[in-house]
Amino acid sequence: MVEQSELDWIVQKAAELLADKVNDAPLTDRDIEMAFEIFAEPRLKRLFGEQEDEKERKRVVDYIMAELRRYMQRLNSERWPKTSE
């Protein structure tokens, strides 16, 4: 089982990529996927190794993606607020 502190660290590091990218344009789901692929996926492979539990891996991936989506929404609203017309 992956420890929560490890998951939080992975989310934090992947979110740093999003924090840099949000300055160029509002973040999209593709940006989240990219951050996951670049940062989280390699670390998960190391954490799970050869003894990968598919159910646990799915839970971990879902958690990371949900956290990154929340972070994306917050960054977008802070950096790209909608203006009232």
pLDDT tens digit sequence for 41-52: 999 988 888 777
Is the whole model's pTM more than 0.75, yes or no?
Answer: yes
The total number of structural domains in the chain stands at: 1
* pLDDT, tens only, 1-39: 678 899 999 999 999 999 999 999 999 999 999 999 999
Q: Angle 41-48/4-21 helices, nearest 10 degrees?
A: 170
Could you tell me the sign of the dihedral formed by the alpha carbons of 59, 65, 69, 75, in that order?
A: positive
Q: What is residue 50's predicted lDDT score, i.e. its pLDDT?
A: 73
Domain that holds residue 15: 4-78
Say if CB 40 and CB 64 are below 8 A apart.
Answer: yes
- Inter-residue contact 12 to 29 (CB < 8 Å): no
- 18 domain-assigned: yes
Q: Is the pLDDT score of 83 beyond 70?
A: no
